[in-house]
Every structure is written in C-alpha cells, then in structure tokens.
Chain A
Amino acid sequence: MKKPLLRRDFMRATAIAGGGMLVACKWDSDSSSDTPVPRGSAADNAPPTADPNAERWTPNAFIRISADNFVTVIVGAAEIGQGTMTAVPMIVAEELDADWQRVSWEQSPASAITYGNPFWQGEGGLGDLDQAGLQITAASTTVRGYYTSQRRAGAAVRQMLLEAASDQLGVSVESLTTRDSFVIHEASGTRLSYGSLAAAAAEKSPPSAPALKSPSEFRLIGQSKQRLDAREKTDGSLAYGFDFEIPDMVTVMVIRAPRFGAILQSSDDSAAWDVDGYLGSHRVPSGLAVVGTDFWSVEQARKLIQTVWLDGSGEDLSTSDLKGQFDTRNKLPGLPVRNDGLGVISLLDGEITADYHFPYLAHAPMEPLNVTIDFRGSECDIWCGSQWPDMDALVAATVLGLPPTAVNFHNLLSGGGFGRRACLGFDYIQEAAHVARAVNRPLKVVWTREDDIRGGYYRPYTACRLSASLAGSTIDTWSHRVASQTLLISPLVEVATGLVTEEVQTSQGAKEMPYAIPNVYVDTHSINNGVPTLWVRSVANATNVYAVETFFDHLAKRAARHPLTLRRELLTEKPRHLAVLNAVAEMANWTPQTKDSLHRGVALFASYESLIAQLVEAQVVQQNNGSHKVTIRKIYSAVDCGTAVNPDLVEAQIESGIVFALSSALFGEIELEEGVVKQSNFHDYPVLRMYQTPAMETRILPSDHSPGGVGELGVPCVAPALANAIYAATGELYTSLPLNNNPSLVFE
C-alpha cells in the first residue's frame, strides 16, 4: 500500500557563475526548516551535491538554466533505452515553458537521498531513505514516479523567472507571459530570455505550491518528440560502460564457477603467460580474476588457465527434474494471497485443471555487463550502467570497507537492462569491488556474452496450477497456485521484520486476475535452490498472465462461449479494462461473428497504473504430418497508459515489449544439466530477429489520468494472445513455454 504523500515541495535556487541559475527541489515534511542552499560547482558545471549537514534537505530534482538560455534537466532515473532522458526533460520543460530546441539532459549522480524516485517514498522501510525514495529504475516507475515533482519544479522556476522579470521591467507579474524560454511583456513587446533572468530569479524564494497547467494547456506533454539522445546513439559517439576508459586501466575477466556456488580449489595459469598482454590472476569470491592489458589478451589468456573446483560444491540440479518437483509442491496448499467469496473451496481442484511450466530466462541485454572501477585506498570511483546506482554504490562501499560518501558512482547510459542491471544479488558490483581490492589498480571487469548467458540471475523457473469450475455458461470458481523460486530479497529477514509477508513478486498477475468470478483463491509456494534468480522485464506477470489468459480461453470453450463475449461479460464493472479490450477487437475488426481463414487470440492485463489488450492474428494450417504451421500476421495493441507524455516513445516501448515477449514465447529457455548451464550465446539462446518480427499496430487511448508505466506493459499479453490464436485453431491448451518446444507446432 502506498502511503499518502503529506510532504510538500520545497525548493532552493542558486546563482551560478556566468549568470545562470541552478535549482534544487525536494519533498519535505517540515516547511519551516531553514535549510542551506545546495552547493553547485559552476566552474566545472557539475551538478550540486546536497549539504551533508542539512539533515532534512532532500532535493530530488535539478534544473540548470545557463546564461545562453539553455535548460539542462538533471535526471535521477537511468536510461536503459526506455526514453528517460527525453520524457523527464519534457515534463520539466512543459511547466517551465522552455524552448524544447534548447533543452538537454544530464544523468544525475548516484544518491537516493537526492535523486530517488518519489514513487518509492515510504516503500523501503529504510528510515531517512524513505524521505526521498529509492534511486531504482524498475517496475515501470520513472514517468509515473517523477511526474508530479518534475512538473512542480518546472512551474516553480517559471514563477521565479516571472518575478525577476517583473522587477526588471517594473510591471506586474500578471502582465507577463512565458513562451519558449522567454518572459514576454506583450504590452511593450519586450522579451527577456530565461538565461538573462536566471541570476536574478535565483534570488527569489521559490513558491511552495506553484500552479500547474491544465492538460488543455500542454504544449509538450502529449506530443511525439524525437529522443534527445538520438544523435549520440546513431553516430557511435556515446560511450557506454563497455567503451569507457580511464588512464592506466587494465581489463579483467572472471572465470566463474561452472556450477552456481561452487568453490575454487586451485588454478594453473602457466600456459597463459605466453599470451602477450596477460598480467596475472587473482582469487576473488566469485572465482578467478584474469587480468590483462585489453579484452582480446584477457580472453586468450583465460582460455589457457586451468581451474579445479571443489568436488561436491555448487548447485547440481537439472532443469528436466524441476517439472516434477514443482508440480508436487503445487498439489499442496501454499501461502494465500487472495481469497474471494468461497475461494478457499478451490483448495480442492475444480472440474478443469491445468499445470503450467515456464523455464529459466536470461535477460541478455545487448551490452554485456561491465564495471570500471578506480579504487585508491580511501576513495573509489565507479563507472557503470546501472538501474540501481545508489544501492550499487552502497554495496561497493561495503565490500571496499569505505564510508558510502567515499564512493563516487558515475551512472552511464546502458545498452539494455531488462532488470539485469538492478540486481538484488548485486553480483557484478560486488565482484568488481573484490577484484579492485585484489588487483589494486584502475580496471574494468568485462563480461563476455557467454559469461552473461551462463551467469545466472535468471527469471525463475515457475509452475502454475490453475483450476476452475463452471456454473452454466460462466466461471464459478477459480484458483491459481504459483510455485516459483522466490524473488524476495531475503525471505527470512523480510517475513521476520514484517516488511514483506507474501510473494509480491511471484504472485504478480495471478493475484490481480481481473475477471468477475465469485470464488477466487490464489496462493504461492516459495522455492529455494542454488540457481540465482532475478526479475526480468514484467517479472511474474509474464508467466502468470500467460496462465490466466490461456486458461480463460480454455474455460470459455468448455462453457461454449466466445472468448471476447465472456471477457466482456466478466469485465462489466471495469470500464478501463473493457475499453482496451473493445478497442483492440475493433482495430483487428474481430467480432464473435467473424468467419475467415485467420485465427485470433486476445489477452489483457493491467499493472503499473496502465492497461493493455493485445490481439494476435495468425494463420494456422494443419500439415500432412498432423502438425500445425503457424504464421503470425499481425499483433494489435490497445493501450491505456493515462497521459502519454511522448506517444511515439510509448508506442516504441509497446513494440519493444512485443519483440521481447515473442523471443521468450517462441524459444527463450535456459536449461541446466547437473548444474551446468547448456546455453551460451545467441546461437543456442536465440532472440527474435527481423525476419521473425510480425507487423504491429498500436493505439493509445486518450486519457486524462496521470501517467502509467509502459516499459513492461507490452510483454505479458503477447504469448497468451498467440497461444489463444493457436488454441482457436487446434483446441489444444499449450501449458508450457517456449512454444517452439511443442513438436506439433511449426512457426514461420
């Protein structure tokens, strides 16, 4: 439950050399606190840092206006491809009435206190940290989390600029307007640039409750704008972590355990010394750190090093055994997370039951993990693309034995993340810190693609048991049991402290099953083994929504109902759900009366304060050998994400989600044989390619609601909509992913 926000905005502005201004704003519960101004370094244009002596000073948004009339928005959230560095500046620029052609972005330093996402305020149970929120870019929270605070910051600065102009011109504030980074006095035709007013505006006290625009006054929000980071992403000039260099840096790869958790017994690097550029190896907790002058030297040397791992150490499970293990657990009651009506009677299986199975998945972002680290004994600088920079910095400080203030974490734009760069195990950052202690010189730890695919932190293996009973032509009881490897940070600690008492992650999408069924029961099993797991884009929604939406079509068929009709009937109390469902059916021109050679399947889902319905149109043709050839013709999406700040980037995120989802629906699978990961690179862990990508059409429904998240929204419905389209042709319920494992299906 989110706590209501009782705090109010509080701002401080300061003049910077050359005539500009720098603005910090914060949430604070104590409006009377006389807090110092944050210190900005105008000389090097670096963002300011909060005064450590100011206990309640927790600024969470920064704007810089330079004398030459440029506005820079310093963004706390990470850019992992989703458009943060465009959407957040748009929100600020809207209320500021800034000239969009003269707005740029800058990544903030790592600091939850300063730059945390207000979405997470009060969520962490972490005392003072809660005042600011966590600086984690996850759960599709960037736009919805920063939206209000960034708008208020822009509006307050605009008000200060108006007051400064009023002083200078000797006219009333009411006689002034703003447009495109100018204050305008219509009566005299005078125009003053924000840059020229900034120094004087910095002397004004910021309004505590600046007036915000009504949506009808928006000039930027709701417009499709080009990404602000497009140029450096098309001319090769953007330095990702993999490209980042510091003087005298060496390169490190780690030989990690062949089985998760195995302990290194001994190593022999005598052959590696023949490699030009090899500089030696060091034992670290995760394995053996191989050091060299550059990537290729280290890669060659690593192949020549023999390692021996302690017998019997390490997880030795085989994924082929998990189906039986998880199914056995699912025959027993779990921890209940939802119980409607007489839902508990569903503890006995209903008349229709299905067991679902979902494999481990790797994130496989295009940029493999890497950490550049310069540890100098009493302080440390780290450069890394991270979705959780404040915690990564804290964890590094702990490993290095430094106070958190001695670690400067420079967050870089990431070549994809999908959750891997917000790691609950903090594996790559801990490892890099250990390597830095061992090697004692500036270095970059790089992961090869093989390291990435075999490195764990997979979407957990999951089994779902769904069971239902019909009453006449509708559904009377519904139960959904999830057995999954836990995604609680530490189940014992969390349950003990009462912070988390249920599987909030692995029950996602099961607990929120949207249909009006009188008796519903959802429970979960937390399973632990030695395979490290982590959230992957849309987390358990991807698996649970697959089970919910395919089982629904199965029940509809048993009840002799059309899947559209039964959904509509069971969503009458949910107008926003109904609206996306009806919109997507209309886009595809699909009605219960449609009779043609195509097959269609639909699925819908709501989370992140957004809703989506997706419809797959496919051709399913039976072959001579009885198998079915499936050609996906088109995927339609109808989206209600509240206010779409940048509709084209929303659409891009939905398209992105579809491709991500098809990769896992069709062939995504990580398998282990006696603990050893079978897959290693894109040949045996395939992801969707151009020729496999169907046509797509996305419609964003108009809405005045505040923005919802869209980064994960496009993922969960794709696989069930596809399976439902195939079900419509074959009548077969496909209870496991990836679908390509099914010998009776051939995908074109």
Chain B
Amino acid sequence: MTFPKPKQSLAITVNGRVEQAEVSPDKPLLWVLRDELALKGSKYSCGRALCGACTVHVDGQPTRACVTPVKSVAGKSVTTIEALSETELGARVQRAWASLNVPQCGYCQSGQIMAVVALLKAIPVPTDQQIDEALSGNICRCGMYPRIRKAVHELAAGGFA
C-alpha cells in the first residue's frame, strides 16, 4: 500500500514561471498541474501512461504527467498545452489542427499536440515510421490518426507558417 508522504515545498518551473507547491512528493505531476495550479488543459484518461492524454514536456521531452511524481520534476522546466501557442511551432501545430479539422471530441488533443511538437523539434521531417514510433502512445478514440499524420507531414513541409 502506498501512503502519501507528508507534504513538502517543491519548486517547479511551469510554463516559464517558478511555482512553489506544497504537495506530497509522490503526487503525480498531472494532479499538481490540474488541482494545484489550475492548468486543466492536460487531461486524465487512463492514469497509467497508456493513452498519452496527459502528455506535457519536461525539459523538452514528452512525458506522461499521470505517472510522473512531482518530485522528479523539481528544478526542471515543465511546459503544458496552455503555453504552446506562445511558441512558433506550437502555434503552427494548432493552426494545422484547426485547418485540417483534426479534433473531433478533442479530449486527447492536448496530448497529441504536445507529442507532435516534441516530435517535430527532434525530427523536423519525420518519416511515416518515425511518426508511428513517436505518436502511437497517444490514443485518439475518435480515430483521427490519418489527419494527425497528414498534419505532421504538412507541417514538416513548412505548412501553416
């Protein structure tokens, strides 16, 4: 049985701001973001890193916030969907999503977009196989995978600038 450890004061950088949180160090980052910092754009869907709806960037790396203890991001930089439009690539991805009618219910899309931005930063022109590898951890129950793939290819070709 896991008992929550006593609360500690932890400093984490979220979207460029240093936040001081009084939390149990084992509390998953997702619930610190959502319930302590009122950043609800990162979603809960599986709680076990199976679906990717909670994907955020930790020091630029796509990370499943639902299984990431908050203590492990102390001193690191966390970026969530809420800050994405402030970056050029993030804004382009969002334009692509709107333009190609990528979202349906939209619940997975915060995570999809965070995963796509991380992919395009690491591999500016990904192959289909690289797209499969980078994005297969993100479930879209509405099944918008063909549109996500198309959007990634068009972004890689310089679209939506």
Enumerate chain A interface residues (CB-CB to B < 8 A).
80-83, 224, 226-227, 229-240, 242-243, 271, 274-276, 294-297, 299-300, 303-304, 364-368, 413-418, 448-449, 648-649, 652, 655-660, 681-683, 687-693, 695-696
Inter-chain contacts of A271 with B (CB < 8 A): 1
Q: Are A682 and B4 touching (Cβ within 8 A)? A: no
Q: Are B101 and A227 touching (Cβ within 8 A)? A: yes
Q: Interface 1/0s, chain B 22-62, versus A by CB < 8 A?
A: 00100110010011000111111111101101000000000
For chain B, the bracket of interface size reads: 35 or more
Extra 12 A-B pairs, beta carbons < 8 Å, given A415-B45, A683-B48, A687-B139? A236-B41, A236-B80, A295-B35, A366-B107, A417-B105, A449-B51, A652-B101, A655-B147, A660-B141, A682-B46, A682-B48, A690-B138
The answer, among B28, B105, B148, for a CB contact under 8 Å with A366, is B105
The answer, among B85, B139, B146, for a CB contact under 8 Å with A235, is B85
Q: Select from chain A the residue with minimum beta-carbon distance to B114.
A: A236
Question: Which of A226, A414, A660, A689 lies at the interface centre, i.e. has the most chain B CB atoms within 10 A of its CB?
Answer: A689
21 pairs, A vs B, C-beta closer than 8 Å:
A227-B98, A233-B97, A234-B93, A234-B103, A234-B113, A235-B84, A239-B40, A296-B27, A300-B2, A366-B107, A366-B108, A414-B105, A415-B43, A448-B47, A648-B101, A656-B142, A659-B140, A659-B142, A683-B48, A690-B136, A693-B146
Nearest 9 pairs of A and B residues by beta carbon: A236-B41, A659-B143, A415-B107, A233-B106, A81-B105, A81-B104, A236-B81, A691-B132, A230-B98
Q: Are B45 and A366 touching (Cβ within 8 A)? A: yes
Q: A681-B50, A691-B132 are in contact. Are A366 and B139 (CB under 8 A)?
A: yes
Q: Select from chain B the residue with minimum beta-carbon distance to A244.
A: B40
Q: A655-B143, A682-B51 are in contact. Are A368 and B98 (CB under 8 A)?
A: no
The answer, among A274, A300, A368, A696, for a CB contact under 8 Å with B44, is A368
Q: Are B7 and A366 touching (Cβ within 8 A)? A: no
The answer, among B31, B40, B142, B147, for a CB contact under 8 Å with A236, is B40
Q: Are B143 and A236 touching (Cβ within 8 A)? A: no
Q: A236-B82, A365-B141 are in contact. Are A80 and B105 (CB under 8 A)?
A: yes
Secondary structure at the B interface, as helix, strand, loop or mixed, is: loop
- In this assembly, does B14 line the interface, its C-beta being within 8 Å of a C-beta of chain A? no
Inter-chain contacts of A649 with B (CB < 8 A): 101
The answer, among A83, A242, A368, for a CB contact under 8 Å with B104, is A83
Inter-chain contacts of A234 with B (CB < 8 A): 93-94, 97-98, 102-103, 106, 109, 113
Q: Are A235 and B105 touching (Cβ within 8 A)? A: no
Inter-chain contacts of A368 with B (CB < 8 A): 44-45
- Measured in the bound complex, the distance between the Cα atoms of B47 and A274 in whole Å is 22
Q: How far is the CB of A689 from chain B (nearest CB, A)?
A: 4
Q: Are B41 and A366 touching (Cβ within 8 A)? A: no
Inter-chain contacts of A83 with B (CB < 8 A): 104
- In this assembly, does B135 line the interface, its C-beta being within 8 Å of a C-beta of chain A? yes
Inter-chain contacts of B51 with A (CB < 8 A): 366, 449, 682
Inter-chain contacts of B144 with A (CB < 8 A): 652, 655-656, 659
Q: A655-B147, A683-B50 are in contact. Are A226 and B99 (CB under 8 A)?
A: yes
Inter-chain contacts of B76 with A (CB < 8 A): none
Inter-chain contacts of B50 with A (CB < 8 A): 681-683
Inter-chain contacts of A414 with B (CB < 8 A): 105
- In this assembly, does B149 line the interface, its C-beta being within 8 Å of a C-beta of chain A? yes
Q: Select from chain A the residue with minimum beta-carbon distance to B23.
A: A296
Q: How far is the CB of A385 from chain B (nearest CB, A)?
A: 9
Inter-chain contacts of A233 with B (CB < 8 A): 97, 103, 106, 109
- In this assembly, does B63 line the interface, its C-beta being within 8 Å of a C-beta of chain A? no
Inter-chain contacts of A689 with B (CB < 8 A): 136-137, 139, 145
Inter-chain contacts of A687 with B (CB < 8 A): 139, 141
- In this assembly, does B131 line the interface, its C-beta being within 8 Å of a C-beta of chain A? yes
Q: Interface 1/0s, chain B 79-93, versus A by CB < 8 A?
A: 011101100000001
Q: Select from chain A the residue with minimum beta-carbon distance to B110.
A: A236
Q: Select from chain A the residue with minimum beta-carbon distance to B42.
A: A236
The answer, among A230, A299, A417, A681, for a CB contact under 8 Å with B46, is A681
- Measured in the bound complex, the distance between the Cα atoms of B82 and A238 in whole Å is 11
Inter-chain contacts of A690 with B (CB < 8 A): 131-132, 135-136, 138, 145, 148-149
Q: Are B105 and A416 touching (Cβ within 8 A)? A: yes
Q: Are A696 and B146 touching (Cβ within 8 A)? A: yes
The answer, among B7, B40, B108, B138, for a CB contact under 8 Å with A243, is B40
- Measured in the bound complex, the distance between the Cα atoms of B50 and A296 in whole Å is 18
Q: How far is the CB of A168 from chain B (nearest CB, A)?
A: 38
Q: Are A367 and B103 touching (Cβ within 8 A)? A: no
Q: Are A294 and B107 touching (Cβ within 8 A)? A: no
Q: Select from chain A the residue with minimum beta-carbon distance to B135.
A: A690
Q: Are B97 and A230 touching (Cβ within 8 A)? A: yes
Q: How far is the CB of A230 from chain B (nearest CB, A)?
A: 4
- Measured in the bound complex, the distance between the Cα atoms of B147 and A656 in whole Å is 10
Inter-chain contacts of A683 with B (CB < 8 A): 48, 50
Q: Are A367 and B101 touching (Cβ within 8 A)? A: no
Q: Are B136 and A275 touching (Cβ within 8 A)? A: no
- Measured in the bound complex, the distance between the Cα atoms of B1 and A242 in whole Å is 27
Q: How far is the CB of B56 from chain A (nearest CB, A)?
A: 10
Q: How far is the CB of B96 from chain A (nearest CB, A)?
A: 9
Q: Select from chain A the residue with minimum beta-carbon distance to B31.
A: A296
Q: How far is the CB of A748 from chain B (nearest CB, A)?
A: 12
Q: Are B40 and A416 touching (Cβ within 8 A)? A: no
Q: Are B3 and A274 touching (Cβ within 8 A)? A: yes
Q: Select from chain B the residue with minimum beta-carbon distance to A365.
A: B141
- Measured in the bound complex, the distance between the Cα atoms of B142 and A83 in whole Å is 12
Q: How far is the CB of B122 from chain A (nearest CB, A)?
A: 16
Inter-chain contacts of A659 with B (CB < 8 A): 140, 142-145
Inter-chain contacts of B109 with A (CB < 8 A): 233-234
Question: Which of A235, A415, A689 lies at the interface centre, i.e. has the most chain B CB atoms within 10 A of its CB?
Answer: A235
Q: Select from chain A the residue with minimum beta-carbon distance to B129.
A: A691
- Measured in the bound complex, the distance between the Cα atoms of B35 and A365 in whole Å is 22
- Measured in the bound complex, the distance between the Cα atoms of B105 and A93 in whole Å is 23
Q: How far is the CB of A269 from chain B (nearest CB, A)?
A: 13
Q: Are A449 and B103 touching (Cβ within 8 A)? A: no
- Measured in the bound complex, the distance between the Cα atoms of B104 and A690 in whole Å is 16
- Measured in the bound complex, the distance between the Cα atoms of B81 and A553 in whole Å is 49
Q: Are A367 and B136 touching (Cβ within 8 A)? A: no
Q: How far is the CB of A691 from chain B (nearest CB, A)?
A: 4
The answer, among B4, B42, B45, B138, for a CB contact under 8 Å with A276, is B4
Q: Select from chain B the residue with minimum beta-carbon distance to A415.
A: B107
Inter-chain contacts of B141 with A (CB < 8 A): 364-366, 416, 418, 660, 687
Q: How far is the CB of B71 from chain A (nearest CB, A)?
A: 14
- Measured in the bound complex, the distance between the Cα atoms of B48 and A683 in whole Å is 9
Question: Which of B102, B138, B141 lies at the interface centre, i.e. has the most chain A CB atoms within 10 A of its CB?
Answer: B141
- Measured in the bound complex, the distance between the Cα atoms of B63 and A112 in whole Å is 44
- Measured in the bound complex, the distance between the Cα atoms of B160 and A26 in whole Å is 43
Inter-chain contacts of A691 with B (CB < 8 A): 132-133, 136
- Measured in the bound complex, the distance between the Cα atoms of B94 and A296 in whole Å is 30
Q: Select from chain A the residue with minimum beta-carbon distance to B50.
A: A682
Q: How far is the CB of A319 from chain B (nearest CB, A)?
A: 23
Q: Are B148 and A304 touching (Cβ within 8 A)? A: no
Q: Are A693 and B143 touching (Cβ within 8 A)? A: yes
Q: Select from chain B the residue with minimum beta-carbon distance to A299.
A: B47
Q: Are B44 and A295 touching (Cβ within 8 A)? A: yes
Q: Select from chain B the residue with minimum beta-carbon distance to A680.
A: B48
- Measured in the bound complex, the distance between the Cα atoms of B31 and A579 in whole Å is 53
Q: A296-B31, A690-B145 are in contact. Are A366 and B80 (CB under 8 A)?
A: no
- Measured in the bound complex, the distance between the Cα atoms of B106 and A417 in whole Å is 12
Q: How far is the CB of A246 from chain B (nearest CB, A)?
A: 14
Q: How far is the CB of A632 from chain B (nearest CB, A)?
A: 13
- Measured in the bound complex, the distance between the Cα atoms of B27 and A300 in whole Å is 10
- Measured in the bound complex, the distance between the Cα atoms of B93 and A231 in whole Å is 11
- Measured in the bound complex, the distance between the Cα atoms of B27 and A384 in whole Å is 27
Q: Are B81 and A416 touching (Cβ within 8 A)? A: no
The answer, among A276, A304, A695, for a CB contact under 8 Å with B7, is A276
The answer, among A294, A304, A413, A449, for a CB contact under 8 Å with B45, is A449
- Measured in the bound complex, the distance between the Cα atoms of B148 and A659 in whole Å is 13
- Measured in the bound complex, the distance between the Cα atoms of B105 and A227 in whole Å is 11
Q: How far is the CB of B51 from chain A (nearest CB, A)?
A: 6
